[in-house]
Structure 1
Amino acid sequence: MFNVPFKLREPNGLIVPKGPNFAWARTIRSEIDGTEICFKAPKHRPRRSNDKPIFPERYNNAKKTLLYRNYYDEGEAARGLADHWREADFFYHAWAFYGPWFTGAMAELDLSFNLIKVINYPKNVSLFHPRTLELVIGDYLTNLYSHHLSETRGGIQVFKAPINWQPLHHLPVNAARLEVVSEDFSPHRTIKHLLFFPIADDQMARLIFYPTRFKGLPRAEQDKLVSVQPMYDLMDNIINSIQLTLSPEAQAQKDAALAGMEDTSLVQNYAPLKWDKLDEEEKIKILANENK
């Protein structure tokens, strides 16, 4: 075992950790059935060396070269969830953020970029249609988070989503980013940031940014010690760098889905989904007792 001869020191006050320089970010290009996704991302530099990156192939065929996995199981069926998703890994990188000299890694930003194929929806639905995309995003969040209920707190849902729903306008398709926020009592200290946009009638891109800080404290306490802003800046730079060029077939699907619509935009406000059976007054009482 290798021992470092210097003891890491504890910093005082708020630390603004430093991560990769986005000016040196590489351009990633990949085509899926002729639709090109292009974005910039720094070189993979995780905190741990066994954290391996995933790179997309330059050219992909959704039916042949992409492995869409089925994660549907008996537990999801028992909870009444439909079998709607097949997921393919597309890109994964992580970036460590460091404090001043001899303070070590303070935070890390992970990006998991997957391609999602939707199944078992009506045949005529298209993810290019704004109402369909909103519905499918809600179903996807329900699939991921609805079963997280606190057994010791009357069944309060552990996660709130979507929070800070934000339609994006720099792509040639509807796109939205949002946050998934855990309740203060949860051991999940990180706010996840998700981005969705369609690439075909039945396929969408899903990005999850996962900024973590290496302090086992509530978020309010961590905010006093380590700033998340450098990770948020990197996340925003990556999102803003995304470019999408639809294939002729995908463009035709989009045109058909939006034909006759005067307003093709997403809703500006998307209320958090309710997965528990408690009314707001009951939740407030339970959380108030939690904080006594």
Structure 2
Amino acid sequence: MFNVPLKLREPKGLILPKGPNFAWARTIRSEVDGTEICFKAPKHRPRRSNHKAHQPKRCYNAEETLLYRNYYDEEKAARGLPDHWREAEFFYRTWAFYGPWFTGVASELRLSFNLIKVVNYPQDVSLFHPRALEKAIGDNLTNLNSHHLDKTRGGIQEFKAPINWQPLHHLPVNTARLEVVSENFSPHRTIEHQVFFPIADDQMARLIFWPTRFKGLPRAEQDKLVSVQPMYELMDNIINSIQLTLSPEAQAQKDAALAGMEDTSLVQNYAPLKWDKLDEEEKIKILANENK
């Protein structure tokens, strides 16, 4: 008996991929040192079976602790980056989005939800304070993206962040949403969407969404072939479903951090961070010469 591989047909026009139905999403609920985090997410449905899901336990406390890893290494030290982060995987799932019949998977949304402890900051810093949270977010973006410099283009940074900075208001703590956008010359096509919020003086949650399309083309060309809207709708639904109930200890930390402040909100605008050493004129000249 022979297995004859089926050839997927090429779709015509813009694809609106179909993904999981959020109406069937179940609530994930977990308590970390008395603070409860809950949100809704569909069942794990990856494009490839080797993408394994990670589910948080119902309760983390003195007996059942999260595993916080240290990813600081000699390479980061050589680049002058400070040792600020200990990360624990909290939740991971991925969802395939399918095109019309016999066209296969057109896109995929991945979500990595980590809890991050900040270390080697001043002892009196609290992430519940808006300026401290903004600083920690900027430092974390630098840690993740500042090494992506294009040596063939004079060391231009490949990523811009934060882009579309947006304070969110549905949680009882300051919450920020932002994008990490690659330059057009970068081989990285996916725009990352990130959400940050504090859960303790020295601890914050970070969600990273990767809405990926499987066409090795510039984003402008991909936009003509596969719509990102179904993935964005799922992403928005997950973000909007997040609920946070602070423990009495965390609530006391928040109250102390915000005491005496008239305006406890995050900044409305957060300029993109600069990681390369080129001024804007030099960057424009390099890219203009490339496009001649």
**Both structures adopt the same fold (TM-score exceeding 0.5):** yes
- Give the match for residue 118 of structure 2: 118
Counterpart residue identity of residue 125, structure 2: V
Once residues 47 and 22 of structure 2 are traced to their aligned partners in structure 1, the CA distance between those partners, rounded to angstroms, is 18
Coordinate RMSD, CA, aligned: 1.1
- Over 3 Å counting, the alpha-carbon distance change for 1:166 and 1:63 in structure 2 is farther
Q: Structure 1 residues 83 and 63 mapped into 2: Cα distance closer, same or farther (>3 Å)?
A: farther
1:68 maps to what in 2? 68
Within 2, Cα distance between the matches of 1:174 and 1:281? 36
Could you tell me which residue of structure 1 aligns to residue 225 of structure 2?
225
Q: What does 1:1-292 correspond to in 2, within 5 Å?
A: 3=3, 5-61=5-61, 65-292=65-292
Report the AA paired with residue 171 of structure 2. L
- Cα offset for 1:290? 2.1
Q: Give, in angstroms, the shift of residue 63 of structure 1.
A: 8.1
1:142-200 deviation digits (Å, cap 9, x = unpaired): 11111110000001001000000000000000000000000111110000000000000
Provide the rounded CA distance (Å) in 2 between the counterparts of 1:257 and 1:110.
Answer: 34
Q: Tell me by how many angstroms 1:287 deviates.
A: 1.2
Q: Distance in 1 between matches of 2:184 and 2:98?
A: 26
Unaligned runs of 5+ in 2: none
Relative to structure 1, the CA distance from residue 97 to residue 4 in structure 2 (aligned partners, 3 Å threshold; closer, same or farther) is farther
What is the rounded CA distance, in whole Å, between the counterparts of 1:260 and 1:4 in structure 2?
Answer: 72
Structure 1 consecutive aligned stretches of length 4 or more whose deviation exceeds 2 Å: 2-6, 61-64
Give the Cα–Cα distance (whole angstroms) in 2 for the partners of residues 145 and 63 of structure 1. Answer: 35
Distance in structure 2 (CA, Å) of the matches to 1:243 and 1:206: 14
Distance of aligned partners of 1:79 and 1:3 in 2 relative to their CA distance in 1, 3 Å threshold:
farther
After superposition, the Cα gap between the structure-2 partners of 1:291 and 1:161, relative to the gap in structure 1 and judged at 3 Å, is: same
- How many aligned positions are there? 291
Cα distance in structure 1, aligned partners of 2:63 and 2:165: 32
Q: How far is 1:289 from its partner?
A: 1.8
Q: Deviations over 1:2-37 (max 9, x none)?
A: 955431000011000000000000100000000000
Distance 1:64 1:23, change over 3 A: closer
TM score, norm. by length of structure 1:
0.98
Question: How far 1:61 moved relative to its partner?
Answer: 2.2
* TM-score normalised by L of structure 2: 0.98
Instruction: Give SS of 1:94's match.
Output: strand
Q: Which runs of 5+ in 1 are unaligned?
A: none
Indicate conservation of the 8 Å contact 1:32/1:62, yes or no.
no
Aligned in 2, Cα 1:201/1:4: closer, same or farther, shift over 3 Å?
A: farther
- Give the aligned residue type for 1:102: F
- Aligned CA distance change for structure 1 residues 123 and 223 (closer, same or farther; 3 Å): same
Task: Tell me, in whole angstroms, the C-alpha distance in 1 between the residues paired with 2:121 and 2:150.
Answer: 31
